[in-house]
Amino acid sequence: MNYKTQMDAAKKGIITNEMKIVSRKESMDENKLRELVAEGRIAIPANINHKSLSPEGIGEGLRTKINVNLGISGDCPDYTKEMEKADMSIKFGVEAIMDLSNYGKTNTFRKELIKRSPAMIGTVPMYDAIGYLEKDLMDIKASDFLKVVEAHAAEGVDFMTIHAGINKRAVECFKRSKRLTNIVSRGGSLLFAWMEMTGNENPFFEYYDDFLGILREYDVTISLGDALRPGSINDSSDAGQLSELIELGDLTKRAWEKDVQVMVEGPGHMAMNEIAANMTIQKRLCHGAPFYVLGPLVTDIAPGYDHITSAIGGAIAAANGADFLCYVTPAEHLRLPDLSDVKEGIVASKIAAHAADIAKGIPNAREIDNKMSDARRRIDWEEMFSYAIDEDKARAYFESTPPTDRHTCSMCGKMCAMRTTNKILAGEKVEFVTEK
């Protein structure tokens, strides 16, 4: 192999096997795809050690992708339950799974996840540092962070969220902004605390080139984390968020110079009227790199329903240029999500992503909708169920109150509009009293 990363290959004019697979999945010409990978406008996260991976592309002109977060915590340390969530995610066809475990020795779970998952695997090394190193935050050195990143890379992690943009300049801007909700990024808050306690620069920023060297070795895509993302609609588009975004734009170019693929992470909480402008600003400041958003959540008052607030924001974001949606579950802000929460979050995010792909005119995005509509016209229930995002739920709802006439549903019965129109167009009479 005479290249180190997908970007390195693309720059050299080489079409990798991963590019060929993505080209087929996306109906995009191989050479066009290669050019976009070379420019950094598409990333194909594919660690050389992730042997079970089914490669996916993230970025310009491609389907909007979905990520699922899972992982154990001190209050819920059961790896079995997290693997059940991973299996469900794979069943629903999500393209990425992030292991955000923050308790104990997490590599046993992560290695098994990488071994069996066709989806991309992501991590946030900052979360793992304390448990992995068994040190208090203040005692961790820059070299320790490098060790954790290298361990994750060697295991086969495809992309890593690294909060390199929250440097001393960005922190000063954050402090001046007097936010309502301060820092809500877990990794960002830990780095902020480390910087304030030690007086040192963010090690991920200060030793950025060293981290890039590790990522390049294993072809790990860097997902530049937004430590200063807004945690409330009050704080969106403020100086702290945008100052960090400016730093991320510079870090994007530095990564590309090392042939390291990049994604850039975005908000957060944000009112609907600000989302489109934020997508444009991000793409401009970060040179067209793929954009990975959490939500955005469009209101702050819906705990228990934040999969809905997120899906609304995610659909708007993706329709205006975001490439990758991190799911949000009904448990957001409340607890670690259970299996049911994970399912609800996946379905909500898939709805948002697919709706956005239709709006963006992604090739063939409308095809399955047209098939569903044709099956509805013909009142073919089995075919309708097969096209549904959640086939099991659609079938269960239909069967819960079964109609007398299987060519209708229990809501309209024989007054079904499809049935009436089909009969008339077929030259038949529509009669209710006689039929009864």
Residue 287, marked binder: no
State yes or no: 229 annotated in a binding site. Answer: yes
Q: 3-state SS of the chain: helix, strand, coil percent to 5?
A: 50, 10, 40
Q: Binding site annotation covers 185?
A: yes
Alpha helices in 92-238 (DSSP H): 107-116, 125-133, 142-155, 168-177, 186-198, 203-206, 208-218
Residue 226, marked binder: yes
To the question of whether residue 326 is assigned a binding role by annotation, the answer is: no
> Which two three-digit tokens encode residue 149?
């990143």
| 407 belongs to an annotated ligand binding site | no
163 is in an annotated binding site: yes
317 is in an annotated binding site: no
23 among annotated binding-site residues: no
| Residue 416 marked ligand-binding | yes
Q: Is 327 annotated as a binding residue?
A: no
Determine whether the annotation assigns residue 186 to a binding site.
yes
CA–CA–CA angle 136, 141, 147 (5° rounding): 100
The 10 Å Cβ neighbour count of residue 301 is 7
DSSP letter string, 36-100? HHHHTSEE----TT-TT-----EETTSPPEEEEEE---SS---HHHHHHHHHHHHHTT-SEEEE-
Residues 6+ away with beta carbon under 8 Å from 288: 39, 40, 41, 60
The annotation status of 202 as a binding-site residue, yes or no, is no
Residue 269 annotated as binding site: yes
Radius of gyration of the chain (CA): 23
Q: Is 326 helix (H, G, I), strand (E, B) or coil?
A: strand
Question: How many CA atoms, within 13 angstroms, populate the side-chain half-sphere of residue 363?
Answer: 10
On the 0-12 / 13-18 / 19+ scale of CB atoms within 10 A, 233 is buried
Strands 65-70 and 96-99: parallel
Residue numbers belonging to the annotated binding site? 69, 98, 127, 163, 185-187, 226-229, 265, 269, 292, 333, 409, 412, 416
Annotated binding site for Zn(2+): 269, 333
Question: Which residue positions form the known binding site for substrate?
Answer: 69, 98, 127, 163, 185-187, 226-229, 265, 292
Residues contributing to the annotated binding site for [4Fe-4S] cluster? 409, 412, 416
